[in-house]
Structure 1
Amino acid sequence: MGDSSRLCSVWLGSETGILKGVSLARKQAFNFCNTSHLSRDQEVRALCWGDPDESELLVGSVDGTVKTFSTEKGAFTESRACGQPADGCFAGLAPLGGSGLVTCAESGALRVWREDSSEPVAELNAGKHVSRMRQSPVHRHRVATGGKDNGLKLWDLQNPQSPVFTAKNLRDDWLDLRRPQWVRDVAFIPGSEQVVTCTGYHQVHVFDPASPQRRPVLEFEYGEYPLTALALPASGGVVVVGNTQGHVAVLDLRKGVVRGCLKGLAGGVRALQCHASRPVVASCGLDRFLRLHSLEDRTLLHKVYLKSRLNCLLLSSRDLQEGGGPAGEGEVKEEGEGEEEDDEVWESMERVEEKTKRKTTTEEEEQEEEELQKKRKKKKD
C-alpha cells in the first residue's frame, strides 16, 4: 500500500467513505480504507495536506472525525473527533502552524484545534448554513466563510472575536426586493487582497477588503444554473467555475467575460483545483470521473473512472504526467471492501418478465370493424 500511495498525484474523497489515490503516470486508481465495512457516516467531505512536505493527508468525514493518512506508509495513522454529526458536514478543513487544525461545519462552528488537546482552543460562530470555508494560501491564520443567506466573511484566527471583513448584500433589484445570497465557494486571488466567490444564483463576485466598498467590486453571471465550485490558476487573471449541470468555464476576472469552456463532463461539479505550477485544472463530481483539462488549449488530458460519486479532490504539487494523445479511462485497482453498492442493489431486485405487447388503438378499431361486418352478414342471411 505504501508503494502505491507514493505514486499517487491526485487524491479524492468519495461518498462511500473511501479515500482514492490516482497515479496518472500508470493510469491507475487505488482505494485506501481503514475498515472492512464502510457506511455513509464515513463519507469523505474535505481533504487537505497536513504538512508542507505532503507526507500526510487530513481527511474529514461526515461523522465529524478527522483522520490522518500517511502517504509514506499508505495507511491511516490517527483519528480524532473534531465535531458532532449534529453540526453538519465539514464545510472546510485546513492545517495551522505547529500541528494545529482549523475545521468549519455547516452549522457555522469554526474551531481551532491543537494536537495535544481534545477540546478546541478557540471557537467562533460563522453563521448558519455555511457552504465553504477556505484558508488564505499566504496568511495561514486568515480564513473566509460563506453560505446560504450568509454572506462572505473574513476571519483572523489570531483575533477571532469578530470578522475583519463582512460583505454587504447586493443592492435591491428594480422592484426594490431584497436579492438573495448564497456563497457556494470562495478563493483568495494570488498577489492581492481580493477574494472571489461563486454563488448558487450563477453569479461570480470579486470583493476587495482594502476598499471602503463592502459590496462586490466586480459582479457578473455565468449560465443559468447554480455554481458549485471554483478554482484559481497560479497565472492569475481568470477563474474556473463549475455548476450543477456539469458545465465548466474559464472566466476573465478583469472583464467578466467567458474565455472558454471545458467539455466532457456529464454530472454536477463538486470540486475543482488548479495545479500549483502547471496550466491544468482537475475536476470531479457526480459522474464519478476524475478529469484533467489543459487551461491553454482546453483539451482533455486525463480521464479516470472511479466508480463512486466524488466530493472533493486534492492535487499533489509534484509535476503531473504530460498529456499526449486522447485521454483514456484509468483502470481501478480495488484495495477496500464495500466499494460499490450498485451491483448488490441490482442483484437483489426481483426480475420482471416483459409483458405481452398491448394492441394499439388502430388494431382494436380494425378488429371491431371486422366483427361488425360479420354481424351484418349474418343478419342479411
Structure 2
Amino acid sequence: MDHRFKGLPPDADGLTVGELAAQRRDLFTGGFITPVLTLSAESLDHNVGLMEAYAEAHGLAFAPHGKTSMAPQLFARQIERGAWGITVAVPHQARVCRAFGVQRIFLANEVVDAAALRWLAAELDADPGFRCVLYVDSVRGVELMDAALRDAGARRAVDVVVELGAGEGARTGARTEADCAAVADAVAATGTLRLVGVAGYEAEVPQADGERVRAWLRRLTALAVEFDAAGRFAALADSDEIVVSAGGSSWFDAVAEVFGELPALSRPALKLLRSGAYVTHDDGHYLRLTPFNRLPEEGALQPAFTLWTQVVSRPSADQAFVNAGKRDAAYDLELPHPRLVRDARDGSVRDAAGITVTALSDQHAWLRTGPEVRLEVGDWVGLGLSHPCTSFDKWQLIPVVGADGTVSDYVRTYF
C-alpha cells in the first residue's frame, strides 16, 4: 500500500493489501480519503449468482467480458460460479488473464499484431490446457494471422470464429453471409487457424430493438447451420463444440431465446454468452436497459458502485460542489446520480433526494440542490455511476464494503 492507490488510508502505507483487508476498517471512520470508489459486497455476490442461475436455466455457457473491470479477483469469482472463461477485447487484456491463470479466453477482436500472435502461440504451445478463441472478419486479416503464426513457429492451430457484422454502419464483422463464407474459406486454407464457430455483437444492430436484434441473431444461428451443413467444421473432433456466441448486457434475453431455437448440429453447440457489465450493474444506462426489466420473474441486478465524495463548497442555497470529477467518475454516457448523504455532524445517512449533478469538471461535480435540502460543507455524498466500463479504469484498488460500512476486501484492476 502506498500513494498509487487513491482514496485509501495514508496510514496504511507499507501494509500489504491483505493486511489492510484483515483490519476490516470502517469506510467512514477508518481513514479513507474522499473521493473513494467502493463496491458493495452484497451486490457483487447477488449479481454473480443471478447471472450464474440465468445462464444455467437457459442452457448457455458464460464468458463475461473482462474488459469491463479488468479485475482478476472478479474473473476468479465468476469462474468459480460456473463461467466457461473470460472474454477480452485486446491482447493486453488476454495477458492479464493469463498472468492470473485463466485457462479459457474469448478474444472478441481480429488480432493481426505479429508480436501479440507470437505471444499467443507461445502460450498455447506451453500449456495444452489453455484455449483461446479469436474473431476473424476479413480475408486479409486471416492472411496476416497465418503469416505471423507461421513465422512464430506455432505448433497448435489457433481457434477462430467468423464474426458476422450487425449491419451496415455497425462496428466490426463481415457484412454479408457471402463475406463470412470467404473468410471461412481463407481460414480453411491455412494450417495455423482452425474454424470453430461464428459470433457477433447484437447491440451494434442499427436502431437496435427487440425485433431487429432477434432478426440479426437468427442470421447468426442460420450461418452456423449453413457452415455446418457445408462441412466447414470438419476439422473439429466429434467431441469438440461448435461455438455460437453473442450477448452484451442489454439483449441477453434475446440471445437466450434465439440460441434456444438453434437446431442440432453435427457436433455439440457451445452457446456462449458474453455479458460483462452485469457484475457491477450501474445507476443509469444499464439500470434502464437490463433485460431483467423485461424478465422480472427471473430477478433483478443491483448497482454495486458508490463513489463517495465530500462537499467542499456550498456557495449558494441551490448549489454545492463535491470533490470528484471527470478523473474519478464515469461520465461517457450519463452524469452520476446522487443517492446518499452522510451527515458530517452525527454520521447519520439519509437519501439524497433533491440533489442532482449538473456537470463535471476535472475534479469537481456540480450539484444543484432544492431549497429544502440540508447539505453542508464536510458532508459525504454517495454517487451512483452510469456505465461501469469506464469506472474501473479510473481506480486501481477499490474497497469492497459491506452494508454495515466494513471494508472486507480490495479489488485490484489492471488497465
**TM-score for the superposition, normalised by structure 1:** 0.29
Larger Cα-atom Rg = 1
More relative contact order, 1 or 2 (CA 8 Å, 6+ apart)? 2
**Structure with more helix by fraction:** 2
**TM-score for the superposition, normalised by structure 2:** 0.27
**Structure with more strand by fraction:** 1
